[in-house]
Amino acid sequence: MDGSIYDRLQKKLEVQKEAEGISAGDIAQLPPALRKIMRLMLREVELTHAAICATMSTLPMADQLNRAELDQALDTLTAQNWLIRRGEGERLNYTVNLRRKPPSQLGGSFWNALDAKITESKKANPT
pLDDT in tens, 80-111: 888 999 999 889 999 988 765 455 555 566 66
Position 66 pLDDT exceeds 80: yes
Position 44 pLDDT exceeds 60: yes
* Contact call for residues 64 and 52 (beta carbons, < 8 A): no
2 — phi, psi (to 5°)? Answer: -85, 120
More confident residue, 53 or 9: 53
pLDDT, position 4: 72
Percent of the residues in the chain that have a pLDDT greater than 90, as a whole number: 25
Query: What's the CA gap between 127 and 122, in Å, rounded?
Result: 8
pLDDT, position 15: 59
Does the pTM exceed 0.85? no
* Contact call for residues 92 and 106 (beta carbons, < 8 A): no
pLDDT, position 3: 65
Query: What's the CA gap between 90 and 95, in Å, rounded?
Result: 15
pLDDT, position 23: 62
7 — phi, psi (to 5°)? Answer: -60, -45
pLDDT, position 68: 93
Q: How many CB atoms lie within 10 A of CB 116?
A: 10
Three-class secondary structure of residue 96 per DSSP:
strand
10 — phi, psi (to 5°)? Answer: -60, -45
List, in order of start, the domains of the chain with CATH numbers.
5-98 (1.10.10.10)
pLDDT in tens, 6-36: 676 666 656 555 555 566 677 788 888 888 8
pLDDT, position 80: 85
